[in-house]
Amino acid sequence: MKTEKLIVLGTGNAMVTEYYNTCFAIKSGKEYFMVDAGGGNGILRQLKKASVNPAHIHHLFITHGHTDHVLGVVWLIRQIASMMLDQKYKGTFKIYCHDELIKTVVTICDLTLQKKLTALFGSRILLVPVQDGQTEK
C-alpha cells in the first residue's frame, strides 16, 4: 500500500515577506501532486529545499486566480517545459483549474515565457478545466 506524504511548501498569504505563499504537494511513491504554486519564482527554491524534483510533478491543481496562488505556476511551467525540451521530463504535465483561470495562465505564459516553452501547451503541458462541484476518481 502506498503512503501519501504532505509537503507544505508555503503557509503565508499574499502580503507576507518572511514566508512563501500557500502551496503544498502530496507525495505518493515517487510522484507529486501539487496544489497551487505560490506567488513567484520562490517556488523553485521551496521545491529544492523540500527535495521535490520537478521531473516527478505531473499534476497541479490551481485553487483560484489570486497572485499568491498562480504566479508561481509560470515558474513551474518554465522549469518543467525546459526539462521536457532537454529530455529530462517524461510524460505530460497536467494543470487542473477553472476554465477562466486557464485563460489567465496561458496569457501570462505567452507574455513572459519563450515561445519554444509555450509551444508545449496542448501536447505535453495540458490545461484541464474543472467545474465547481466536479469529482474525479
Task: List the catalytic residue out of 36, 68, 99, 110.
Answer: 68
Helices 67-85, 42-49: crossing angle, 10 deg rounding: 70
Q: Which range is least confidently modeled, 23-27, 36-40, 44-48, 60-64?
A: 36-40
Q: Is the full-model pTM beyond 0.95?
A: no
Q: How far apart are CA 97 and CA 114, in angstroms?
A: 23
pLDDT tens track for 2-35 = 789 989 988 777 677 777 788 999 999 999 999 9
- Please report where in the chains the cell 501570462 appears, as a residue: 108
99 is catalytic: no
Gyration radius (Cα) of the chain, Å: 14
Other C-beta atoms closer than 10 Å to the C-beta of 124 total: 17
CA distances, 72 to each of 22, 66, 123, 135 (Å): 11, 11, 21, 25
Domain assignments of the chain as residue spans, ordered by start = 25-114
Rounded distance between C-alpha atoms, residue 74 and residue 69, angstroms: 11
Q: Mark out the alpha helices in the chain (DSSP H runs).
A: 42-49, 67-85, 99-112, 115-118
pLDDT for 1: 58
